[in-house]
Amino acid sequence: MKTLSAILVALTTAGAAFAQDITTYSSDANFEDTAFAVENAIIGRGLVVDYVSHVGAMLARTGADVGSDVELFENADVFLFCSATTSRSVMEADIMNIAFCPYGIFVADTGDEVMVGFRDFPEGPMQEVQTLLDEIAREAVGK
pLDDT tens track for 52-99: 999 999 999 999 899 999 999 999 999 999 999 999 999 999 999 999
Higher pLDDT, 120 or 11: 120
Report the share of the chain in percent with pLDDT over 70: 86
* Dihedral class, residue 83 (left if φ above 0, else alpha if ψ from -120 to 50, else beta): beta
Strands 103-109 and 75-82: antiparallel
CA distance 22 to 64: 28
Write the CB contacts of 15 (distance below 8 Å, at least 6 apart in sequence). Answer: 99, 100
Predicted confidence at residue 20, as pLDDT, reads 66
Predicted confidence at residue 18, as pLDDT, reads 44
Predicted confidence at residue 29, as pLDDT, reads 98
The amino acid occupying position 1 is M
Higher pLDDT, 63 or 1: 63
